[in-house]
Amino acid sequence: MTDTPFVIAGRTFTSRLIVGTGKYPSHAIMAQAHAASGAEMVTVAVRRVNISDRSKESLLDYIDDRIFILPNTAGCYTADDAIRTARLGREAGLSHWVKLEVIGDERTLFPDNEALIDATRVLVKEGFIVLPYTNDDPIACRKLEDAGASAVMPLGAPIGSGLGIQNANNIRIIREFSKVPVIVDAGVGTASDAALAMELGADGVLMNTAIAGAEHPVQMAEAMKHAVIAGRLAFLSGRIPRKMYATASSPLEGVIGT
Amino acid sequence: MTITLNGERFELDSPKSVAALLAQLDIDPRRVAVEHNLNIIKRQTFSDVLIGEGDSVEIVNFVGGG
């Protein structure tokens, strides 16, 4: 079975892996990891310029020109702040795409669904391509889609937790319900988590800490590239059903000594 | 005169444009977005928008994030 292209809001991506730009040991390692991951879209955060210390080099100098930059609204706890941040990101980046985050709780960084849906509605009206980071809740995802989201990005587990997909069944249901792309965002710890997300039918996976925080980020980026490809192929290939007991792979006839 | 710049008090000798403020701060205007009293300022109008006494200015850029 041949794959369909990965298209978000009319833009086609060859790679189904989206990666972050935070928490790398250095900008140079980040750039190498991006290249190794094969990602064509990376997320960035929007923050105040450090007025007193202008010496810091710009992140953008280390992002390949061919990579599409997706600003996020991380750290926003209200719809208003997220909307303001999205508008600033658009102005700074000259793109009208946003990874929309409205966080509801500091410890879990779980999204505030109600505020997220409100902010999605407002930003879609302003012409944004909105990719909301959401709970792994099929109903919330449906409401986000109705509000005009161009994709839904359910979490696999809390941000930076590395716990892997906690509710595989919900991801499967979200895929079944959604007409827009489903991107599993957050919670990936290692390659098998990314592969599982794709095997469940996700259209893409977004991760940051799993790569940036690994002992060898560039190698892990490459592992993630392969995991996403492998998971996608496995999904398309139609896996065998799970059975309680063995079914022999070798012929039962002609065994010697019988 | 005093303005609020990125949430902190900041002294300016006289009202000046957004472009002049960025130049004073040694900030490349192509790499930032500016909000003036909660309004986003389009980059093409950085030279036209004047910052005055008591105004609030936010200057943001992109940093690493997920």
User: Looking at residue A95, what is its pLDDT?
Assistant: 86
Tell me how far apart the alpha carbons of residues A59 and A63 are, in angstroms, rounded to a whole number.
Answer: 7
Question: Nearest to residue A190, comparing CAs of A166, A214, A206?
Answer: A214
Tell me how far apart the alpha carbons of residues A242 and A232 are, in angstroms, rounded to a whole number.
Answer: 19
Q: Do B62 and A84 touch (CB under 8 A)?
A: no
Contacts of B63 in chain A (CB under 8 A): 21-22, 44-47, 59
Q: Find residue A183's DSSP bridge partners.
A: A204
Q: Do A92 and B10 touch (CB under 8 A)?
A: no
What is the arithmetic mean of pLDDT over A131-157? 98
Q: Which residue has the tokens 């200057």?
A: B59
The residue of chain B nearest to residue A61, with distances taken between CA atoms, is: B31
- β-pairing, A129-134 vs A97-100, is parallel
Res A258 pLDDT > 80:
no
Provide φ and ψ at B32, rounded to 5°. Answer: -130, 165
User: What's the pLDDT tens digit per position in B21-37?
Assistant: 999 999 999 889 999 99
What is the arithmetic mean of pLDDT over A189-193? 98
What is the arithmetic mean of pLDDT over A152-177? 97
Could you say which of A30, A46, A207 has the minimum Cβ distance to residue B62? A46
Tell me how far apart the alpha carbons of residues A141 and A234 are, in angstroms, rounded to a whole number.
Answer: 25
A127, amino acid identity: G
Res A240 pLDDT > 70:
yes
ipTM, two decimals: 0.93
Could you say which of B40, B42, B63 has the minimum Cβ distance to residue A45? B63
- Answer with the residue of higher pLDDT: A194 or A1: A194
User: Looking at residue B57, what is its pLDDT?
Assistant: 96
Contacts of A218 (CB under 8 A, 6+ apart): A29, A32, A33, A36
Q: Do B65 and A21 touch (CB under 8 A)?
A: yes
Residues of A with CB under 8 A from a CB of B: 20-24, 30, 43-49, 51, 54, 58-60, 69, 71-72, 74, 84, 87-93, 159-160, 186, 206-209
Q: Is B23 on the interface with A (CB under 8 A)?
A: no
What is the arithmetic mean of pLDDT over A246-255? 92
- DSSP per-residue string spanning B8-45: EEEE-SS-EEHHHHHHHTT--GGG-EEEETTEEEPGGG
- For this structure, is A23 an active site residue? no
> How far is B63 from chain A, CA to nearest CA, in Å?
5
For chain B of 66 residues, list the mean pLDDT of each consecutive stretch of 10. Answer: 95 94 92 94 94 95 94
The residue of chain A nearest to residue B63, with distances taken between CA atoms, is: A45
